[in-house]
Amino acid sequence: MYVAILGRQPALGIAELERVFGGSSVKVISSQAATVDSDYFDIQKLGGSPKAGIIVDELPKSDWHKVSQKVVQYYSGKWSAFEGKITLGISVYGFDVDSREVQKTGIILKQKLKKSGVSLRLVPNPTPALNSAVSHHNKLGLSPNKVEILIVKSKDNVIIAESTGSQNITAYANRDQMRPKRDAFVGMLPPKLAQIMINLAVGDQKSLRILDPFCGTGVIMQEAALMGYSIYGTDLSEKMVRYCRDNLNWLADSHHVKFDWYLHEGDAVKTKWQQPIDAIVSEVYLGQPFSAPPSPTKLEEVKQNCNHIISEFLKNLAGQIKPGTLVCIAVPAWRDKDGKITHLPLISTIARLDYKPHEFANISQGDLLYFRENQVVARELLVLTRV
């Protein structure tokens, strides 16, 4: 049994976990974490969970002082005869404690182990929970002597887990920033989000061919290739197809990987794609970018334009894929200054386009929004099945 720590927008992480492990295997235990009933968990294949750990104990719901004492008692006994130096990080979720209290727990444990002749280096806690960058750079969870204890207060109890690793943020940054061709005008889809979208579409299936009909500079194709899928991309712009091709060639050379891929120009509202198409993952047309909320008239104009293009694309796609084919697309949603969301009209009438929304166990489709603070145009993820 594992505990997954959820990211900045937890609904995305929950949805991804459900699609990969099955809805019945995922239990949301707080706004920051979920448990996963599985024998295997690879954090590097998930975009929505910065950290995960294998559960080693569950304690009755209690205050931080008592939980801290239990942790010190357990690990001072477990490591009393440890050979070599331990590097330890402690991350706490759900408790109303500051970083000094968390650090104090580690210091007490360090002092007790010192009396047993065991050396421990404590990773400083600037916050109650170490961020994934600190965990990654200290290689916590990747070997027996580099440990991160995850202490999670749930609605029912307190979970103690040992990290099995955190997301490799260095690799994400390199794939995002080192690609030879980038274009801010068409949007900069984060590799993490691309990974989430791929998992939302394919779940735990393998040996699939994934189509991206709005491939842009190829972020989704890049992540799908690294996950072992065959990839197929099209784009209306010759420039984007060229950029995508350069980026995929760079990926193959820089990461020393081989993958099956096909790419050509094509307007998504009328292109006839080559078969087979096993799944569709794409960030579709997001419309005009805004640095501030637009006027109601302008918003209505942009909304209707996006709605028309995306509806026509979905109609074209529906005629070329088999019933049961899974689709995950990022569509635009607009946030006003109060955070209120304006959705595309097609979302409420998706059945007319021969698709049905995927039903999640712990969240609803409307929760699947990705945006940064003060961002006007959000990405809304639609997880659909061709009927």
Domain ranges of the chain: 2-167, 171-386
Fold of 2-167: VC0802-like (3.30.2130)
pLDDT tens per residue across span 75-109: 999 999 999 999 999 999 999 999 999 999 999 99
pLDDT tens per residue across span 205-237: 888 999 999 999 999 999 999 999 999 999 999
Two domains, one topology: 2-167 and 171-386: no
Q: Between the CA of residue 50 and those of 10, 65, 165, 166, what are the distances in Å?
A: 11, 27, 9, 6
Q: How confident is the model at residue 308 (pLDDT cuts 50, 70, 90)?
A: very high
Among 74, 54, 88, 14, smallest CA distance to 159 is for 54
pLDDT at residue 62 greater than cutoff 90:
no
pLDDT at residue 64 greater than cutoff 80:
yes
**Class of residue 58 by CB neighbours under 10 A (exposed 0-12, middle 13-18, buried 19+):** middle
**Mean of pLDDT values over 236-256:** 96
Q: How confident is the model at residue 186 (pLDDT cuts 50, 70, 90)?
A: low
CA dist 21 and 24 (Å) reads 8
* pLDDT for 255: 94
* pLDDT for 183: 79
**Class of 171-386 per CATH?**
alpha beta
The share of the chain scoring above pLDDT 90, in percent, equals 90
Among 71, 67, 158, 56, smallest CA distance to 112 is for 71
**Mean of pLDDT values over 170-179:** 92
pLDDT tens per residue across span 22-44: 999 999 999 999 999 999 999 99
Q: How confident is the model at residue 187 (pLDDT cuts 50, 70, 90)?
A: low
Q: Between the CA of residue 7 and those of 90, 132, 175, what are the distances in Å?
A: 18, 10, 20
**Mean of pLDDT values over 318-341:** 95
* pLDDT for 206: 85
* pLDDT for 339: 86
pTM, two decimals, is 0.94
